[in-house]
Amino acid sequence: MRNLTNKITSILLGFISIVYMGCSSDDSSENNGSDLEASKLDLNQFRQDGVGVMMQAFYWDVEPIGGWYDEINSKIADWSSTGVNRIWLPAPGKGQSGRLSMGYDPADYFDVGQLDQHGTIETRFGSKAELESLIQKAHDSKIEVVADIVISHNSGGATEANPLRPGDTQAYTLFDEQNGNASGKFNRNYNHFHPNDFHPTDGYEENPFFAKTDLCHDQKYVQDWLWGRDDSVAEFYKNELKFDGWRFDYVKSFDPKWVKAWNDKVGGFSVGENFDGNAQTLKDWVDASGSTAFDFACFYKLDETLDRNNNLTALGENDNMLRKIYPDKAVTFTANHDTEKDPNTDNNISFRNKMIAYAYILTHDGYPTLFYNDYENDSFKDILKNLVLIHNTIAIGDVEILKVDVDEYIMKRAGSGANPGLIFYINISNQEKKTSVTSNWLGKKVVDYANNSKNTLTTDSAGKVTLEAPPRGFTIWSLAKQ
Ligand code: ZN
Ligand code: ZN
């Protein structure tokens, strides 16, 4: 009975669609879901080596405590099939808060879950062996592993007499085998922090939570232990733990030349957290460090246009994101462990707009990041898998904005050779929108690979086509099977 009903429905739909085509001036036809799927090209033919997305593989206060590396290990196969080519892990070293530490209060860089100190052997994320097993698993799936590198400040040492801080016994600057640094590697004292015998400060801002334990990178001893020696932190993470890349925390706190020095020594992928919405500030940091940077300017523009102003025009302005200035140096994102830390503040892109924001970063240039909590959310996962497929295949070629106004934004990726590229259409009004644009596709059938329109459209001999986008949503058009 159900089959018969479906059959009648599909005959009726077919009839309606023929009538509609016959009397409609724009050449479109409606598909049911399976017809739409059948009319699409298999995008996998456009996959390219080295094109993928990064997964931020943690959120603030991950659980289970002590079991996080194993939790991630169980996800690697799925992430790899989705098209993730890098995972960003939390800072691996032992922090002052022991089993509760998220890694941003580093005490012993060489204790990655194997020494008994700060109340625990394992870190919040697991043991050294579990970390090594996770990295091996990722490498077996052709995924690189990025370590969070926290070298702006330290935490968890003991107090000591400091002639440069007379009368102030509250600076915890002594790190040795008995005081928070059981590895005995990179033991530290007050002279390795600010103020010291070289200078009172390096002139860069201090993390307010760790102002008295702001590391001094001008001290040769600190440089040697962080990256210079053959048994430095950087060499240990690269050669023994097999990390492939680095995410530098809180880079506003020190000279970008230290990031350059680290990368010159050990190489690999590198991205800096310069928490700043000014694209020029991000560009200056990229110029000085040689590293890529998280595109906070892009993040804030998406939050501003979608959440705050309900006005897309800023997306069309020049040079207001790092990716518009240096697409190859911009790591784009829509959420991270900080922006989503407190759900009661609006430092984040709302759930209502999150998929539009992901569609933006996954169709434009820049290297996109998926946030763990978004991808591992059942209401987002299938949408994100599809957007990553689109990113890894047809989101290539020059970026050209075809239209931008208060409630519509239309952008074309030109494609390359046999790769057809795409046209991305955002509509934030409450009505369906249609706009005539000129595509690169001449006399071709096109469909929406985001599955938000069921219509097959046909471009004219000059490439013109009237595209459409649903209310408060988006479409991503590219060639159908002809
Ligand atoms: Zn200094
Ligand atoms: Zn917001």
Taking only the tens place, the pLDDT of each residue in 260-271 is: 999 999 999 999
Q: How many angstroms does the Cα of residue 305 sit away from the middle of ligand 2?
A: 9
d(CA 350, CA 344): 11
Q: How many angstroms does the Cα of residue 36 sit away from the middle of ligand 2?
A: 34
Q: What are phi and psi of 79, to 5 degrees?
A: -60, -40
Which ligand has the nearest atom to the CA of 214?
1
d(CA 363, CA 176): 49
Lookup: tokens for 166: 């007379």
With 0-12 / 13-18 / 19 or more C-beta atoms within 10 angstroms meaning exposed / middle / buried, residue 121 is middle
Q: How many angstroms does the Cα of residue 202 sit away from the middle of ligand 1?
A: 4
Q: How many angstroms does the Cα of residue 330 sit away from the middle of ligand 1?
A: 28
The list of the chain residues with pLDDT below 70 reads: 1-27, 33
Q: How many angstroms does the Cα of residue 335 sit away from the middle of ligand 2?
A: 10
Torsion, Cα 340 279 383 379, to 10 degrees, reads 20
pLDDT digits (tens, 9 = 90+) for 362-383: 999 999 999 999 999 999 999 9
pLDDT computed for residue 31 by the predictor: 74
pLDDT computed for residue 341 by the predictor: 86
Q: How many angstroms does the Cα of residue 434 sit away from the middle of ligand 2?
A: 27
pLDDT computed for residue 289 by the predictor: 98
Q: How many angstroms does the Cα of residue 248 sit away from the middle of ligand 1?
A: 17
Q: Report the length, in residues, of the chain.
A: 482
Which ligand has the nearest atom to the CA of 349?
2
Q: How many angstroms does the Cα of residue 306 sit away from the middle of ligand 2?
A: 8
pLDDT computed for residue 8 by the predictor: 39
Does pTM top 0.75 for this prediction?
yes
- DSSP assigned state of 138: H
Contacts of 173-176 spanning 24+ positions with Cβ under 8 A = 173/212, 173/213, 175/107, 175/108
Q: What are phi and psi of 459, to 5 degrees?
A: -80, 150
Q: Helical H runs in 89-127?
A: none
pLDDT computed for residue 35 by the predictor: 82
Q: How many angstroms does the Cα of residue 405 sit away from the middle of ligand 2?
A: 20
Q: How many angstroms does the Cα of residue 353 sit away from the middle of ligand 2?
A: 9
